[in-house]
Amino acid sequence: MKVQIHGVERASFTDSSGQLRGKHHGGQRAMLVELTRELMMQLELEPSIEQVAQQQGIKALDGSTAVALVDVSQQQTQSPRQWVGPLQDNNVYLFESKDHPSSIQQLEQAKSVDSICVRSGNGHQQLLESLSFNNIRAEGSYKVCWDLLAAGEVSLATLNQTLVPSVLESDSVASKQLRNTGVAVQKQPVYIGFSAAIPATEIQRWQQQLEQFKASLDYQGLVHHYYCQQDCF
């Protein structure tokens, strides 16, 4: 079975043994490379990942050979297919302070709050702006946003679900006051697509290994070393 990935040119490198590796603090794409490698090694497979163009990978996935493509949506392929995931719960939610609840239930309602704090440079600001939000307050870190939430100086803050376990373990007092409103700004889970030529028993083996690994501290280690670009918060 060939394992392929796309869109990792800036987040990866080829090591001395010729294998694709994720760059430390290279972001989401770097973590996908390393997470896939880790799963393959735990499944006693050679961690050889081929970098391809997205459309090339999708075409191979729709073919008759045994292929797995990392990070493909269920809408991008034509043939019947099998899925493992999500590799990352890459969903962005609005968080509020337990002491200063916003009471929002829908995303549109968030346009009426005083302000929404976002971490500068993480893409959440552009995402909200594309949805016609004009009450955005950009700060240098998540920690600043949490402090502002705790003080009641902003109404909401954005946070990627992938970071939540690390947030709950942080030493920040303000982070303990965070509460997910359940209102999503973006839902974009990441899956591996497998071609129809791969047996269902192999898909089940991958899924079970992924779930076991995601429940471990090693998964959070990948978040810190690869997903987070420098400081997580």
Burial tier of 164 (Cβ tally within 10 Å: 0-12, 13-18, 19+): middle
Please give the Cα distance from 11 to 121 (Å, whole number).
Answer: 17
* pLDDT of 120 higher than 60: yes
Longest dimension (CA), the chain: 58
Please give the Cα distance from 197 to 166 (Å, whole number).
Answer: 38
For 142-194, how does the pLDDT look when each residue is reduced to its tens digit (9 = 90+)?
A: 889 989 998 999 999 999 888 887 776 666 666 778 899 999 998 888 899 99
Topology adopted by domain 2-88+189-227? D-Maltodextrin-Binding Protein; domain 2 (3.40.190)
What does the DSSP 8-state code read for residue 100? B
**What residues does each domain of the chain span?**
2-88+189-227, 100-187
Q: Give me the mean pLDDT over the 103-120 stretch.
A: 95
**pLDDT score at 74:** 61
Q: Give me the mean pLDDT over the 74-103 stretch.
A: 82
Q: Which CATH architecture has domain 100-187?
A: 3-Layer(aba) Sandwich (3.40)
Global confidence as pTM: 0.83
User: Could you tell me the pLDDT band of residue 202, with boundaries at 50, 70 and 90?
Assistant: very high
**pLDDT score at 166:** 75
Structure tokens at 141: 């870190």
Please give the Cα distance from 86 to 105 (Å, whole number).
Answer: 25
* pLDDT of 79 higher than 60: no
